[in-house]
Amino acid sequence: MARQDAQRCRVGLIGAGTFGLRHSRFIARSDRAGLVAVADPTFGSDRPVPDELREVARYADHREMLARGDLDGVIVASPSEMHVAHALDCLDAGVAVLVEKPVAVDREQARPLLDRVAEDPRARVLVGHHRRHHPAVAAARSLIEEGRLGEIRAVAAVWATHKTDAYFEIEWRRRRPGGGMLLINLIHEVDLLRHLVGEITSVQAIASNKARGLEVEDTAGLALRFENGAIGTLVGSDSAVSPWGWDQATDDDPAFPYHPGQPCLLIAGSRGSVSVPDMTVFTQPEPSWLEPVAQSRVPVQGADAFARQLAHFADVAAGRARPLVTAEDALRSFEVVRTAAQSLAG
């Protein structure tokens, strides 16, 4: 049964671009939240109002939107460089924030937000690493925590798809500090690997911009060492055709074609392994390369990481839950990507 309006989280949105509009569609499908206001400087121009936002109060300045005083939470989907400033404005207005990744584009920029969260118990910030809300991720984490795979030794992740040329017509996506597929895309894989395998203690990267010739990379590979001794590789490209990548292997985002059954993350331990998100599990009671491995599958019910993220945000905004992905946690994922990018320069 649909919830009464009074029980829904009253959401505002900062940034009505590609992903802000996507958020507005996720909210429209939700019975936990309702979109009541949206801010984007283009509303002061002759930009046509997107259909999704016709019934929503629109502002050219997000501070005017926040001054309404009736919002429970705000989603920040502005360009990455603006995330920290926008999130702080929301906290100043006493509103919970779901800030898109990356939480910041450099460590110093993030500091005031981290300090604010540490000092103010009413400051609630969730970062939009939505994949952590996917039930396959929870299932993989349980397998690992229960020791069914033994000690994790080796992991391999891939994210490869071919973005359209139109995607790069937006200026910030073509340059640093906000652009490039390391920070826009592979940060999600890094975050997932940290969540599942553990903290990353060293990273080295190689990258290429040969496909698009932009200032930022279009293809990259990362070599990773984890605190628990595991070794990992992560390879990605925004200019290669493949079904391998979270966006294709799940139906999280209807904007992308769904290729069910394709893995994008392989995790191998001393007693077994799992491929994610298809959740095929391989185990051996007595490890030996001369013996067959048993294969099984962990059923995953009710995916839709964005719906789950939104429901969680409604709980965070109402003070019923602590953020699954805090700003501090998300900054660690950013730091890995930043260190990887710095290793390119050397």
Ligand X SMILES: NC(=O)c1ccc[n+]([C@@H]2O[C@H](COP(=O)([O-])OP(=O)(O)OC[C@H]3O[C@@H](n4cnc5c(N)ncnc54)[C@H](O)[C@@H]3O)[C@@H](O)[C@H]2O)c1
Residue closer to ligand X (CB basis): 247 or 278: 247
Contacts with ligand X in 20-49 (CB under 6 A)? 20, 39-42
Contacts with ligand X in 181-240 (CB under 6 A)? 184
Residue closer to ligand X (CB basis): 50 or 150: 50
Q: Considering the rule CB under 6 A, would residue 180 count as an interface residue with ligand X?
A: no
Shortest Å, Cβ 172 to ligand X: 6
- CA 141 centroid distance within chain: 17
Q: Contact, 38 vs 24, CB < 8 A?
A: yes
Q: Go through the chain and tell me how many residues it has.
A: 346
Strand, coil or helix: 205: strand
Q: How far apart are CA 223 and CA 135, in angstroms?
A: 27
Q: Considering the rule CB under 6 A, would residue 150 count as an interface residue with ligand X?
A: no
Of 14-22, 27-35, 154-162, 201-209, the window that binds ligand X (rule: CB under 6 A) is: 14-22
Q: How far apart are CA 232 and CA 154, in angstroms?
A: 6
Q: How far apart are CA 90 and CA 285, in angstroms?
A: 52
Per the listing, tokens 């050397």 go with 346
Q: Considering the rule CB under 6 A, would residue 72 count as an interface residue with ligand X?
A: no
Residue closer to ligand X (CB basis): 41 or 150: 41
By beta carbon distance, the residue nearest ligand X is: 17
Among 32, 62, 134, 338, binds ligand X (CB under 6 A): 62
C-alpha atoms less than 13 angstroms from C-alpha of 83 in its C-beta half-sphere: 31
Contacts with ligand X in 77-136 (CB under 6 A)? 77-80, 82, 100-101, 128, 130
The order of strands in the sheet holding 9-14 is: 57-59, 33-39, 9-14, 73-76, 96-99, 125-127
Task: Please choose, from the candidates 200, 167, 196, 199, the residue with its C-alpha nearest in 3D space to the C-alpha of residue 181.
Answer: 167
Residue closer to ligand X (CB basis): 92 or 151: 92
Cα→Cα distances 181→4, 99, 177, 257, 263, Å:
41, 19, 11, 19, 20
Q: Considering the rule CB under 6 A, would residue 170 count as an interface residue with ligand X?
A: yes
Q: Considering the rule CB under 6 A, would residue 18 count as an interface residue with ligand X?
A: yes
Residue closer to ligand X (CB basis): 258 or 282: 258
Residues binding ligand X (CB under 6 A): 14-20, 39-42, 62, 77-80, 82, 100-101, 128, 130, 170, 184
